Structure 1
């Protein structure tokens, strides 16, 4: 009788444990699907609109309005804005989802994966830019980078500071818009780039529990300070003694 009770208790505990694991897995899967709706929609829209009459017409109308000689390279600066925002927010003490090291880790992984995917597609898909400069239009690298980093900013400050969190997407939208206004990209290039950037970052944050490691979690007086020089963004590592 005692053995039977122990067996039943063990089955009950194990059944409960597996049910919780299964529930967590289903919840994570549902969460991932919800997070993927917007970026996948952007990516699919970019694919469907590529080489369409609509985007060619849009480009012609844009050129008629701003002129063929229009060139205002603000996109070379706004593409880095979400990164700067992220670290400035840390320095001034805005509450973030993660420690600065985990932020940097997720940011670096997101940027690297986005860059690899974007450049692989650029080399594989022969699509000429609207200005005819080369055949690496699809997808837009500036857009994929900025939307990826904007998604990092959103993930970190979406709960504590929504205005800051969404402002990164504002800079990303400006970057994508000026890629078209400067005649460097078609609409589909920008949409696809945005979709790739956001999707990659969402995936990185969804699976970040798999590579949780932070040697600075208990360290104090250590900070990263963003730096911009000669068109490149960098970081200063500082420690107060």
Structure 2
């Protein structure tokens, strides 16, 4: 009996020894920890927007088309310019040049009137004034540089500063700022401002001061100047919002002279 038990125990040991290598071969696969901390929160990676949706492309696309058309058709008294001039002279009679000289800043009056009415603009009033100043500087420098470089003669022959139209550039600069500041409130503010700007361009042709190519390019310069002013502007210059508590209202002084009063209430 004892010999039988010893024999069975030895057999069990041999069996266990033969099975142990099989268990030793089954090992867990080590976990790859090389990318453990690349995205610990599981947040999906940002997808880069297509180039045609970038701010820069949207800012320069329309002005680039207008400037290209104006440059290609700037042929003085030849081609499409002459045809447009003849059509305009047949359909319209010249008006006082003082009218289009005043109308170029009419979009700014719209901007002031809407602000006085209490409609909140995109930027506070101080930053809006800074953007206007920057846009005006860009527009004046670019348009007058091109005027002197191009040397295009006006339709009426008065001088060689025809291309591009500075009046049109000024009007479209102001209209673009009005549109940008109030487009989140209503698109009609921009529609009104651009209608005024387009009227200025038409009047410059009706008064025989500019060719068609001049006013189209002028519109491009004005819109581009506004867009560049916004793209290069650091809103609020890193400070808290300012200018929301600045108020403007019309006033009449004792001698009957009209004017404007400015009030400021500091916020706590």
Q: State the TM-score, normalized to the length of structure 2.
A: 0.72
Structure 1 residues 8 and 33 mapped into 2: Cα distance closer, same or farther (>3 Å)? same
Alignment of 1:42 with 2:66, yes or no, is yes
Alignment of 1:63 with 2:89, yes or no, is yes
Q: Which residue of 189, 197, 200 corresponds with 2:214? A: 189
Instruction: Structure 1: state its 5+ residue gaps.
Output: 227-234
Shift, 1:6, TM fit: 10
Partner Cα distance (1:135, 1:48) in 2: 18
CA contact (8 A) 1:78 1:171 kept: yes
Partner Cα distance (1:113, 1:225) in 2: 30
Alignment of 1:104 with 2:153, yes or no, is no
Shift, 1:159, TM fit: 1.4
Q: Which residue of 1 aligns with 2:263?
A: 239
Alignment of 1:204 with 2:226, yes or no, is no
Aligned-partner SS, 2:54: helix
Shift, 1:71, TM fit: 3.1
Aligned runs of 1:155-234 on 2, under 5 Å? Answer: 155-208=180-233, 210=234, 212-213=236-237, 217-218=241-242, 221-223=245-247
Question: Could you report, residue by residue, the CA deviation over 1:198-230 in whole angstroms, capped at 9, with x for unpaired residues?
Answer: 01212222332x46427783466423569xxxx
CA contact (8 A) 2:124 2:243 kept: no
Q: Which residue of 1 aligns with 2:56?
A: 32
The structure in which a higher percent of residues are helix is: 1
Partner Cα distance (2:150, 2:176) in 1: 25
Shift, 1:77, TM fit: 1.5
CA contact (8 A) 1:102 1:214 kept: no
Shift, 1:61, TM fit: 2.7
Aligned runs of 1:51-90 on 2, under 5 Å? Answer: 51=75, 52-66=78-92, 70-73=94-97, 74-90=99-115
**How many residues are paired up?**
224
Alignment of 1:95 with 2:120, yes or no, is yes
Structure 1 residues 163 and 143 mapped into 2: Cα distance closer, same or farther (>3 Å)? same
Structure 1 residues 29 and 184 mapped into 2: Cα distance closer, same or farther (>3 Å)? same
Instruction: Structure 2: state its 5+ residue gaps.
Output: 1-31, 251-258
The CA RMSD measured in Å over matched residues stands at: 3.1
Shift, 1:165, TM fit: 1.9
